[in-house]
Amino acid sequence: MIRVTALTLAAAAVVLCLGACGSTDASSVAGGDAARGRTMILEYGCGTCHVIPGVRTARGDVGPSLSGFGSRRLIAGEIPNTDENLIRWIVDPPALEPKTGMPDMNVPRVAARDIAAFLRTR
- The 10s digit of each residue's pLDDT in 5-50 is 554 444 444 444 444 444 444 446 989 999 999 999 999 999 999 9
C-beta atoms surrounding 65 within 10 Å: 15
What integer pLDDT is reported at residue 30 of this predicted model?
87
Tell me the pTM.
Answer: 0.76
The CATH number given to whatever domain includes residue 59 is 1.10.760.10
CA gap 48, 63 in Å, rounded: 9
CA 54 to chain centre: 15
98 in helix, strand or coil? coil
pLDDT at 39: 96
Q: What CA–CA distances, in Å, run from 94 to 26, 81, 100?
A: 25, 16, 6
**55 within a domain of the structure (yes/no):** yes
Domain of 47, in residue numbers: 25-119
Instruction: Judge whether 121 and 36 are in contact, CB under 8 Å.
Output: no
